Structure 1
Amino acid sequence: MPLYIQLKDVIVENIETGKWVYGDTIPTETELQKQYKISRITVRQAIGELVNSGILTRIQGKGTFVAAPKLESIRPELTSFTRDMNERGFKTKSYVMDFSIENSNERLQRVFQIADTVKVTKIERIRLVSDIPIGIHTTYLNTSITPHLQLDKYILSDESLYSALHNEGVLLGEAHETVEAVLADQQTSGYLDISVGSAVLALTRITRLQDGNVFEYSKMLYRADKYKYTNVLK
């Protein structure tokens, strides 16, 4: 195994076992070089990769520190982002960028199995945890099958969309998700306060009502340095 990977494993183990905790300064490159009798290049490669993955963070002139643990969404069932974070003790809020009724495009017509004359509801939000932008959610709802739905009376900057739907009597059923890694473009980097080209987790979710009709199509982008995604398989 390459030496830099061995050093990465040692550093990660020190963090996972609690030897180093969030905010601690790790040994300097020189100290690590002497301690493990490896080259400066090897040390820099190991630390660089851990910084890029969000495990460590550098502060110019001060050193390298253990970064805050990533926010984790554990999915044994269909839940909202708000509930996921609140159950872990984090305060969430949203900035609603768009809440409108729009014409459906070809993709939405295919997903929802609707005619090109049918309009959909679009909700676009920046999701924040402890006032830090973590994700961008762009959601389309097939509200043609729920004509009495009144989402405009809810404050979605503070409330969960799924809670609002539940209160309106909308019963969600099965959801299918795909997850892939993408690079942040200029718009995404601006919204999430990250550099252009940074790693981003992209989730696509298609959700049905309990009667089988497709109701939700969502695209979600999350900062890979702050967020991780865990599925529970049974």
Structure 2
Amino acid sequence: MQAPQSKPLSSKHIRPTPKWEFAPLDKGSFTPIYFQIQTQLLQKIQSGQLRAGDPLPSEEELGRIFNVSRMTARHALQALKSQGFASRHKGQGTFVSRPRVEKDIAHLSGFTAEMRALGMKPTSQILQAETVAAEADVASRLGIAVGSAIFHLRRLRLADDLPVALEDVWLPQQLFPGVSQLDFSRVSLYQILREQYGIRVSRADEVIEARSANRREADLLQVAPRSSLLVISRTLWSVDGKPVESALSIYRGDRYRAVLQVPATAVE
């Protein structure tokens, strides 16, 4: 069964369709016509004139407004969809999507802090929380013996009630006694590590990859199978040089993108 798709806001939450006002196209410009239309729509989204859940003009409406073909109008809407600014819902039209979350990979922060900084409400669904024996790959990353007791936490992370990430965390049991008794659906993991266990973090080693969603991931994240995912593997190190956490975070590609500022000296 195909994974459920995210739905636009119900009619009672959608603002009335606005009277569309656009600047004339420059048909003598080297800039493609579809891109000029896309740019004007994007400006309305980024300025707040159009908000998440608002309907966008249909292909027919754009054709009449700009006196262009439906193919050109379709190209403009598809470009917005590919950038994550719009989504099409069969039988209903094309709507403004929730903005993508930009994850600054140069700075270490937890999901809860990231979402709150963006004005979004973070919540979690606990999928697994138990003490298990460390398998070889996790044991290697944590610098412990295979079979050692570790706490495995798997969570579905939501922002404003929308599933955006799957997260697996492995913690050495010897460093975190009693951790399995905590309710991580309500508290920040990093806050607990810092305040309850006195862990001070010095750095994180991360590997970033892109891949397609399998059936289970698609079901949980409410995307179509083989949708794009951003995958980040992380090992967290304490100030005394010990690995204290191994994690695997899987983000929806339509809701997340990784950003990194590179100093100029790095390219000289």
TM-score by length of 2: 0.76
Opposite residue 142 of structure 1, the aligned amino acid is: P
Q: 4+ residue stretches of structure 1 with deviation over 6 A? A: none
Is 2:253 the counterpart of 1:212?
no
Q: Name the SS for the 1:121 alignment partner.
A: strand
TM-score by length of 1: 0.86
State percent identity of aligned pairs: 27
Return the index of the structure with the highest Cα Rg: 2
Following the alignment from structure 2 to structure 1, what is the Cα–Cα distance between the partners of residues 50 and 161? 26
Q: Deviations over 1:96-138 (max 9, x none)?
A: 1111222222222322232224232211111112222111001
Opposite residue 187 of structure 1, the aligned amino acid is: R
Q: CA RMSD in A?
A: 2.4
What is the match of residue 184 of structure 2? 156
Is 2:163 the counterpart of 1:123?
no
What is the match of residue 108 of structure 1? 138
Instruction: Assess, with a 3 A threshold, how the Cα gap between structure 1 residues 154 and 49 changes in structure 2: closer, same or farther.
Output: same
- Between structures 1 and 2, the one with greater strand share: 1
Is 2:50 the counterpart of 1:20?
yes
Instruction: Assess, with a 3 A threshold, how the Cα gap between structure 1 residues 152 and 107 changes in structure 2: closer, same or farther.
Output: closer
Gaps of at least 5 residues in structure 1 are: none
The alignment of Structure 1 onto Structure 2 pairs a total of residues equal to: 232
Instruction: Assess, with a 3 A threshold, how the Cα gap between structure 1 residues 8 and 177 changes in structure 2: closer, same or farther.
Output: farther
1:36-51 equivalent positions in 2, closer than 5 A: 36-51=66-81
Q: Is the 8 A contact 1:26 1:65 kept in 2?
A: yes
What is the match of residue 87 of structure 1? 117
Q: Deviations over 1:158-195 (max 9, x none)?
A: 10111111122122220122322211110101111111
1:52 Cα deviation (Å)?
4.2
Gaps of at least 5 residues in structure 2 are: 1-30, 264-268
Greater Cα shift, 163-172 or 67-76:
67-76
Following the alignment from structure 1 to structure 2, what is the Cα–Cα distance between the partners of residues 198 and 5? 25
Following the alignment from structure 1 to structure 2, what is the Cα–Cα distance between the partners of residues 232 and 149? 38
1:19 Cα deviation (Å)?
4.2
